[in-house]
Structure 1
Amino acid sequence: MAETARAEDSRPVLGPDRRARGPRWDEAMRLAYATGDEAARARASALAGSSAPVPLAEAFGRTLAGDLRALFDVPHYDSSAMDGYAVSGPPPWTLDDTESLRELRPGHARTVVTGGVMPAGASGVVRSEYTHSEPDGRGVRIGMRPDSPGSELDPGRHVRLAGREAAAGDVLASAGRPLTPPLLAMAGISGHDDVPVLPPVTAALLLTGDEVRTSGTPAAGEVRDAFEVQLPHVLRAAGIEVAAVRRIGDDRAVTREALAELVDLADVVVSTGGTGRSDADHVRAVLTETAGSRADPGAGDRLIIDELGMRPGHPTMLAMRDRRVPAGTSRPVPVLALPGNPLAALAAMRIVGSAVLRGLRGSDPEVPLTVPAAQDLPAEKVDRLVPARPAGSAGPVPSVGPGTPPAPGTRDHEDAWLPVEHVASNMMRGLTMGRGWLVLPTRPVRAGERIAFLPLEW
């Protein structure tokens, strides 16, 4: 269903025992990451042998198809870590800059710069600022200043030994890791011109709802699309290639057919709408009709998350469906079913979707941050994810609960944060003003108290 406020996010989230149904936001992140990780391992196995070398300049964000090993020692020669003198033995030393390749004899010194080759026979490097020089009958004599630290003469001081960062053959990154800028740099300095990568991780979008219009002014009972113009960018920002966007109406047979088609087409499927519990919510019906338990990883279709113990985004679902293309193969594909209300969908995307995509791309699980609250906040009935901004940023301070004047952060360099306005599940305006997400707990929060925080991902 689309972004109108309908049953899927307005129904009560508390059962008779007053506890939220579905996993809490942090548990949902853990389940979602494990789901993405399982899919990533199955995908890597299915794609074994289909990797291709890609030049380093084009490999950012791609997934390693095999272990990345150093082709030679890094550094590949002993070098100086400072500008100064390579020395042999205790001071004083006679400056010997005439033959850079000759072994340095005891009692002699040779000028070196940072990164320069260390001469054979050197016992260490002394920084130029700790030395003095004077001519003598045999040339220039180098001595240590009286105020120089004794550690300056320790054996091996300021020397970068060959292989200190990596030895030839060391595994720099294991197969399945996404290639980050530092990892690409490490690949280059260890001898690689290209790296073997898997095909890009792909996503397919399924947008549902008879009432959704993609242009013009919608009539009463209709709404403008809020997803096709933003979700592809959210996915691309996470390093995912959008393989297909499919729009359908509210029809169960069409929904079943579309999900089956997209699961066979992409590595993850993201749908919008149809996750409530009315007769018109066909995504939920299709995902549950053949689903086994998440506790049985050997099962084919499984329901991992049936709903979330948070608002907005409570009717979010996460399932595993079997991909059976090419014929005779089978591997699990995550299906993330987002609610039709736009803020609810983006909140669920931030909690569940981000974790699934991290696992699928081989990234580490996210560790949520904390920030100080700018004012007193009332207890929520269930954990609530809200767009927020620093209290000192532009814009009016919203009225949230009983409230107190904005409090300074608990650390000098930190801003205190507060929710913005326009954060109903069917609204987008609040997220356009937010600079991150606060997780409001089910207890009162005092101004200055630290609470969970998730940054924006664009």
Structure 2
Amino acid sequence: MTKNISLTDLATDPGCLSDYDPNAMDFYSAQDWIAQFLAPLKQNETLPIEDALGRVIAKDIQSFSDVPNYDNSAMDGYAICFSKNSSTTFEVVGSAFAGSLEDFQIEPGEALEIMTGGKIPRGASAVVPIELIDIDGSSIHIKTLPKIDANIRKMGEDISKGQVILKSGKFIRPAEIGLLASLGIAKIEVFKKLRVAYFSTGDEVVKVGNILKKGQVYDSNHYTIGAMLQAPSIEKIDLHNIPDDKKLIRKALLLASQKADVIITSGGVSVGKADFMKEVLSEIGKILFWKLAIKPGRPLAYGTINEAHYFGLPGNPVSAMVTFYQMVQPAIRLLMGEQGYTPPPKFKAKCTTTITKKPGRMEFQRAILTHDQDNLTVTPTRSQGSGILSSMSEANCFIILEMQHKTVEPGDLVDVQYMEGIV
């Protein structure tokens, strides 16, 4: 794929590359094309670590100290000092509790009672667990001498001073919060929130809470997309529903491009007479492709409007969710600054029923994955219609059938992807 082709080149002259067709893009080519035009936002802000969960680190973080910052005991027991031919009996000279600042020293033949996390005394050769010790008054007996440094956690064993512990682009989970706290780091620099504007289109779409008339549908896409965008690194800009009116759609898109880094719409990117989105986008934006060779989700657009990235999702509820998870979410993660994001892995499971499929389109079948004795089995949901939103609620995974795949028979192994790894 040629790297020096711009989105403007493709939008104005689709014939500039022989293998480029905005009206028939396959799934993997679409992912590759989109990735070429994405770059993380550059604006940063500083946050207390307790407010940084779900954000993305904007600057490499170095440790200011060794972790641990002193030699300490890995368990409750006794620190002992011995040489190669020492006796296995040691005189106890004191106790060291975790948190004690006292500086002990032991000589050959001596032992110091020590707790997990306690500071290792100078001269100690190893720590013997309390379970392996016989206590006799002020002395202890062990069967055999341990290895040197056994059960001693050395200074800097986990992290050394000056080491880069978290790199720019790292998504912050609870483990990262804990790691930062363990180093005494109270504030960090993160990428600013990605501003995402979204709205649905259609005269037939009615806001939830109103009385539904014949020929109308509730605006489930608006709520679904809003829920899928619920993340600490995203600032949502809700533009609600826009009627099938070319002027209003144009106005909404231009307003969104001024306020947001990403624009997401649902509906209006198909070929119906009232689908004005394509016409408006051709006038004010640069569009990379209009259709994907996938099912569900064929009518999908990606491009830019001014400086904002644009994703036009299908109007059918299932199609909107599938294309969001498979195409939009990876792009959003990259724009948020996250490096190394990979979609949830695919794995094999045995299909329990027949799936009729013709070659030519990649399919994402909603399905239920279960454990059958030692095998993983997967069964498609009752209906695979792109308007059957209940199928997404019933399912816990996708069966992914590549373009060249034909009909699946019971017992065939198929590629499966857990939904829990996506949402």
Normalising by the smaller structure, the TM-score range is: 0.7 to 0.9
Q: In the alignment, which residue of structure 1 is the partner of 2:295? A: 311
Q: In the alignment, which residue of structure 2 is the partner of 1:416? A: 377
Does residue 335 of the first structure (1) align with residue 310 of the second (2)? Answer: yes
Map residues 169-188 of structure 1 onto 2, 5 A cutoff.
169-188=162-181
Tell me the TM-score normalized by structure 1: 0.76
Does residue 65 of the first structure (1) align with residue 51 of the second (2)? Answer: no
3-state SS, counterpart of residue 181 of structure 2: helix
- For 1:174 and 1:321, locate their aligned partners in 2 and report how far apart those are by CA, in whole Å: 32
Q: In the alignment, which residue of structure 1 is the partner of 2:134? A: 132
Q: In the alignment, which residue of structure 1 is the partner of 2:183? A: 190
Q: In the alignment, which residue of structure 1 is the partner of 2:330? A: 355
Residues 15-71 of structure 1, C-alpha deviations (whole Å, 9 max, x = no match):
xxxxx93223x5545555665xx331xx11xx25xx23x222221112223222222
1:21 to 9, 20, 24: 24
- For 1:255 and 1:229, locate their aligned partners in 2 and report how far apart those are by CA, in whole Å: 19
Q: In the alignment, which residue of structure 2 is the partner of 1:94? A: 90
Question: How far is 1:260 from its partner?
Answer: 2.2
- For 1:99 and 1:128, locate their aligned partners in 2 and report how far apart those are by CA, in whole Å: 13
3-state SS, counterpart of residue 222 of structure 2: coil
Residues 196-255 of structure 1, C-alpha deviations (whole Å, 9 max, x = no match):
233322211021112211143433433221122221111105852312324212233332
Tell me the TM-score normalized by structure 2: 0.82
Q: In the alignment, which residue of structure 2 is the partner of 1:377? A: 354
Moved more, 417-426 or 106-115: 106-115
Question: How far is 1:376 from its partner?
Answer: 4.0
- For 1:76 and 1:338, locate their aligned partners in 2 and report how far apart those are by CA, in whole Å: 53
Q: In the alignment, which residue of structure 2 is the partner of 1:163? A: 156
3-state SS, counterpart of residue 144 of structure 1: coil
Q: In the alignment, which residue of structure 2 is the partner of 1:3? A: none
Classify 1:280/1:99 alpha carbon distance in 2 versus 1 (closer, same or farther; 3 Å): closer
User: Which amino acid in structure 2 is aligned with residue 308 of structure 1?
Assistant: L
User: Quick check: 1:344–1:425 contact (8 Å CA) kept in 2?
Assistant: yes
- For 1:144 and 1:443, locate their aligned partners in 2 and report how far apart those are by CA, in whole Å: 68
3-state SS, counterpart of residue 416 of structure 1: strand
Q: In the alignment, which residue of structure 2 is the partner of 1:453? A: 417
2:320 to 345, 352, 358: 345
User: Which amino acid in structure 2 is aligned with residue 245 of structure 1?
Assistant: L
- For 1:449 and 1:34, locate their aligned partners in 2 and report how far apart those are by CA, in whole Å: 34
User: Quick check: 2:192–2:233 contact (8 Å CA) kept in 1?
Assistant: no
Question: How far is 1:391 from its partner?
Answer: 4.8
In the alignment of these two chains, the number of paired residues is: 383
Tell me the C-alpha RMSD between the 2 structures. 2.6
User: Quick check: 2:105–2:123 contact (8 Å CA) kept in 1?
Assistant: yes
Q: In the alignment, which residue of structure 1 is the partner of 2:389? A: 428
Residues 129-149 of structure 1, C-alpha deviations (whole Å, 9 max, x = no match):
2333435xxx4043225xxxx
1:111 to 86, 97, 113: 113
Q: In the alignment, which residue of structure 1 is the partner of 2:279? A: 285
User: Quick check: 1:373–1:451 contact (8 Å CA) kept in 2?
Assistant: no
Question: How far is 1:276 from its partner?
Answer: 1.1
- For 1:280 and 1:318, locate their aligned partners in 2 and report how far apart those are by CA, in whole Å: 20
- Relative to its length, the structure with more strand (as a share) is 2
Classify 1:220/1:98 alpha carbon distance in 2 versus 1 (closer, same or farther; 3 Å): closer
- For 1:31 and 1:74, locate their aligned partners in 2 and report how far apart those are by CA, in whole Å: 43
3-state SS, counterpart of residue 230 of structure 1: helix
- For 2:407 and 2:78, locate their aligned partners in 1 and report how far apart those are by CA, in whole Å: 63
Does residue 85 of the first structure (1) align with residue 78 of the second (2)? Answer: yes
Question: How far is 1:272 from its partner?
Answer: 0.4
3-state SS, counterpart of residue 139 of structure 2: strand
- For 1:367 and 1:238, locate their aligned partners in 2 and report how far apart those are by CA, in whole Å: 20
- For 1:141 and 1:86, locate their aligned partners in 2 and report how far apart those are by CA, in whole Å: 11
Percent identical: 24
3-state SS, counterpart of residue 348 of structure 1: helix
1:443 to 383, 406, 421: 406
User: Quick check: 1:132–1:144 contact (8 Å CA) kept in 2?
Assistant: no
For structure 2, the 5+ residue unaligned runs are 1-22, 97-102
Classify 1:334/1:93 alpha carbon distance in 2 versus 1 (closer, same or farther; 3 Å): farther
User: Quick check: 1:423–1:429 contact (8 Å CA) kept in 2?
Assistant: no
Question: How far is 1:426 from its partner?
Answer: 1.7
3-state SS, counterpart of residue 153 of structure 1: coil
- For 1:311 and 1:238, locate their aligned partners in 2 and report how far apart those are by CA, in whole Å: 31
Question: How far is 1:174 from its partner?
Answer: 2.1
Question: How far is 1:371 from its partner?
Answer: 4.0
Classify 1:351/1:94 alpha carbon distance in 2 versus 1 (closer, same or farther; 3 Å): same
- For 2:77 and 2:34, locate their aligned partners in 1 and report how far apart those are by CA, in whole Å: 54
Question: How far is 1:338 from its partner?
Answer: 0.3
Q: Which structure's relative contact order is higher, taking Cα pairs within 8 Å and 6+ residues apart? A: 1
3-state SS, counterpart of residue 229 of structure 2: helix
User: Which amino acid in structure 1 is aligned with residue 228 of structure 2?
Assistant: V
- For 1:95 and 1:28, locate their aligned partners in 2 and report how far apart those are by CA, in whole Å: 73
User: Quick check: 2:94–2:113 contact (8 Å CA) kept in 1?
Assistant: no
3-state SS, counterpart of residue 367 of structure 2: strand
